[in-house]
A and B are shown apart, each in its own frame.
Chain A
Amino acid sequence: MLRVDVEKQLGEFSLAASFTGEGRVIGLFGASGAGKTSLVNMIAGLLRPDRGTIVLDGETVDDTAAGIHIPTWRRRIGYVFQDARLFPHLNVAQNLDYGRQMNRLAPDPAQHKRVIDLLDIGTLLGRRPGKLSGGERQRVALGRALLAKPRLLLLDEPLGALDEGRKLEILPYLVRLRDEANVPMVYVSHDAAELRQLATQIVMLKQGRVTSFGGVKVLA
């Protein structure tokens, strides 16, 4: 369960959002500039709220009143960015293994195989990110985040940088991920159709405020 109640001033823009997410996939919906990315950056710990609290599965990761701010690297919250941000000096296999090594997790060949099969990236392992297509890169980024065994996975417009054809290529993987990976997700998008397919719960954000909250029906 994810509970967010934060305020943040970013120049002229003020963000004040409060919601509790329990679904498997919380869809964060809003136009560009609504504050979606700032909000997920706060959940990830990359951005510090001015005021408020963020609680994940009963653990307070941010509480400004109590002076709590767990740094990003200790949160165990995965993040898939719009631009995949694969490490250019590592090949695909090394990118996939990065999170496991950083968290000092024991090798888990079963999960490794499951994720690679789920995302169909087995043939890419020896390649460098520079030699991958946009869609392949995004699939590897998904795998890299999952293999770090996060408690929550943030996806910030993971299809945003892809053209229509590529989107249709990745979407089925995301559906499988939702149904098989057993990791709760926050999925950010400005595309209602995308969220209707993936989300189990919607948080609608407009100019830094939560305007509606509920099932996928609120998108109508």
Chain B
Amino acid sequence: MFDISPAEWTAILLSLRVAIIATLVATPFGIALAWLLARRDFWGKSMLDAVVHLPLVLPPVVTGYLLLLTFGRRGLVGGFLADHLGIVFSFRWTGAALACGVMSFPLLVRPMRLSIEAIDRRLEQAAETLGAAPWKVFFTVTLPLALPGVLAGMVLGFAKAIGEFGATITFVSNIPGETQTISSAIYSLIQTPDGDAAAGRLVIVSIVLALGALIAAEWFARRATARLHGN
């Protein structure tokens, strides 16, 4: 039963690639946004917070459709990127990564924001009195202390990205070898006669990946507490 076929491997590896790229590209943006939301007060902050969380509450098919309108070949941003930088998202695995990145962004940002909020700001003041410019304070005090939260956010974002389905299939369709991730492969298999065994195998792979990510996130969270107590 557990003989994973080449086609299934393709879907698994594509899912991993899409989720890893989505997470790595989203992380710097996530850290910047988490810091902004945790540390700065500005006009439109609650609006920005709401927009970040939007993919969590919108039907995924709506998010996918909005991505298609914006980043498709004829979309405002997509057209520009394709014509000037040669970056194409529609019906490519890069588009799947974009969809996964957007869908997982709220989950990625949240632990980062919480861990930055938990840092004692008086430590940052102490760093300033020792001659650290604000950006050095960020890289030598804030970020190292927030690191377990940053990693937890990355793990959760990755887990969400690897399971994303609705926005991805709407935006980049379900093309084996290009945009067919584990989720869309399962979707195709359960509509195919005799596809049950293969679907079952991919379901088990999904569960293992998701569980592993949750356990890792939990472990990072515990490390964060120990780190903040200076042990």
Chain A residues within CB distance 8 Å of chain B: 44-46, 71-79, 81, 83, 85-89, 98-99, 102-103, 128-131, 144-145, 148
* Subset of 18 A-B contacts with CB under 8 Å: A72-B128, A73-B133, A73-B136, A77-B129, A79-B126, A81-B122, A85-B123, A85-B126, A86-B230, A87-B126, A88-B230, A89-B230, A99-B131, A102-B131, A103-B131, A128-B230, A128-B231, A145-B129
Q: How far is the CB of A64 from chain B (nearest CB, A)?
A: 20
Interface of B is mostly: helix
For A83, the chain B residues whose CB sits under 8 A away are: 122
Interface status of B144 (Cβ within 8 A of chain A) = yes
| Given A87-B123, A98-B132, A102-B136, 16 new contacts (CB under 8 A) | A46-B128, A46-B129, A71-B128, A73-B128, A77-B129, A78-B130, A85-B126, A89-B145, A98-B130, A99-B130, A102-B127, A102-B130, A102-B131, A130-B231, A144-B130, A145-B129
Q: How far is the CB of A73 from chain B (nearest CB, A)?
A: 5
Q: Using a Cβ cutoff of 8 Å, how many contacts connect chains A and B? A: 77
For A44, the chain B residues whose CB sits under 8 A away are: 129
The total of chain B residues at the interface (CB under 8 A) is 24
Asked whether A88 lies within 8 Å of B229 as measured between CB atoms, the reply is yes
Q: A103 vs B131: C-alpha distance in the bound complex, in angstroms?
A: 6
For residues 126 through 158 of chain B, which have their beta carbon under 8 Å from a beta carbon of chain A?
126-134, 136-137, 140-141, 144-145
Asked whether B127 lies within 8 Å of A87 as measured between CB atoms, the reply is yes
Q: A212 vs B120: C-alpha distance in the bound complex, in angstroms?
A: 36
User: Which partner residue on chain A sits nearest B126 by CB separation?
Assistant: A85
Interface status of B204 (Cβ within 8 A of chain A) = no
For A46, the chain B residues whose CB sits under 8 A away are: 125, 128-129
Interface status of B45 (Cβ within 8 A of chain A) = no
Q: Mark B160-183, 1 if CB is under 8 A from A, else 0.
A: 000000000000000000000000
For A129, the chain B residues whose CB sits under 8 A away are: 230
Q: How far is the CB of A46 from chain B (nearest CB, A)?
A: 6
Q: A131 vs B231: C-alpha distance in the bound complex, in angstroms?
A: 7
Asked whether A88 lies within 8 Å of B130 as measured between CB atoms, the reply is no
Q: A103 vs B128: C-alpha distance in the bound complex, in angstroms?
A: 11
Interface status of B39 (Cβ within 8 A of chain A) = no
Q: A130 vs B228: C-alpha distance in the bound complex, in angstroms?
A: 9
Among B128, B130, B231, find the residue whose CB has the most chain A CB atoms closer than 10 A: B130
Among A77, A78, A89, A103, find the residue whose CB has the most chain B CB atoms closer than 10 A: A89
Indicate which residue in A88, A98, A128, A131 contacts B127 across the interface (CB closer than 8 Å).
A98
Q: A99 vs B127: C-alpha distance in the bound complex, in angstroms?
A: 8
Q: A99 vs B120: C-alpha distance in the bound complex, in angstroms?
A: 19
Interface status of B74 (Cβ within 8 A of chain A) = no
